[in-house]
Amino acid sequence: MDSILDYDTVELNEEDRSLRIIDQTLLPGRIEIIDLTTPGEIWDAIYKLKVRGAPAIGVAAAIGMYVISVRIAQTCADNAASGATGFDFGRFCREFKKQKEYLNSSRPTAVNLSWALNCMDRVCREAVEKGSANGIPDPEPVLEALRSEALRIRDEDVATCRRIGENGLTLIGPGDGVLTHCNAGQLATVRYGTATAPMYLAHERNYGLRIYCDETRPLLQGARLTAYELSSAGMDVTLLCDNMAASLMKSGAINAVFVGADRIAANGDAANKIGTMGVATLAKAYGIPFYVCAPMSTVDPSTPDGDHIVIEQRPASEVTEMWYTERMAPEGVKVYNPAFDVTDHSLITAIITERGVHRAPYDFTKEQ
């Protein structure tokens, strides 16, 4: 039987020049790998959480822009052939920018999306300028530059998560109880995860951690994804509903909390899946260290604090009927369904990145 860990969350299908992902909306019931080629398919996959988690979204966006660029170049080449005017780099760049902005509209909170798209845009402009200066009306060097950048972002994600795991592992010991919220695991990255990276490395080294996963809205990602992938790896995992964390902490079972982030403001405020702020508040009350794990690409120096982070609102149906055979809530009832909340920096014991363990006072306006 296949394990979810046998598959990469996001990859480039070189043969078809397509974006290949695990459709996470179908987990844990079945593993389905899908290939995406059109802007609409890629936008839909990000918006509907078929691919999710800030780092994985960034990698998917980078590979997605390469895949889209292949199709844009083909259209420009076809037009050039019919009109005998040569390859139109101007049209290519205009369409690239249009599709970049389109993908960026799919999820407003995760900064890795815009970060990756901006990386691809920079490489595209540099490659086009070089090709134009050399008088080479050939899109292949531009496409190869975009491919290389997308794969660089992907490979960098794997190495970054490994370093986050090594840094986080210094903060826990054998036999510890660790609570995590939502999914900041392998399914949210390419490999290892962010908040789960210390857990994967601890498992490799026989720490015997006791891991507790909050259920977590939206889409019950702690129950469906984190509990699934960590148990698939052979870890000791216990699932709990979100409103059970307080009693578990009071029992003394939890030694540390590790969570991910979708955007970290310059002052250390961190946006993560809804309910994270409540977990941080409880951890503070019970004297439990609360750690945020994320790559530096999730840090947004241009956002001064959490009040400036845009919070995505999800459809009401995710609460009222999505997970039930029959509708659970009364027709017409209003629903409050934000995807994220912001944990104040004062509640965060440390922020763990690939560059080390950062402690208060946080100042991410400076080069780390």
d(CA 272, CA 339): 8
Q: Are 340 and 272 in contact (CB under 8 A)?
A: yes
Tell me how far the alpha carbon of residue 111 is from its chain's centroid: 9
d(CA 168, CA 171): 6
Among the listed residues 214, 262, 300, 341, the single catalytic one is 262
Q: What is the DSSP letter of 149?
A: H
Residue showing tokens 């490489």 = 123
d(CA 80, CA 100): 23
Q: How many CB atoms lie within 10 A of CB 214?
A: 30
Catalytic, 363? Answer no
Beta bridge partners of 210: 177, 236
What sign does the CA torsion over 292, 297, 303, 309 have?
negative
Burial of 215 (0-12, 13-18, 19+ CB in 10 A): buried
Beta bridge partners of 357: 352
Beta bridge partners of 20: 11, 35
What sign does the CA torsion over 116, 122, 126, 129 have?
positive
Radius of gyration from C-alpha coordinates of the chain: 21
d(CA 25, CA 59): 18
- Provide the annotated active-site residues: 262
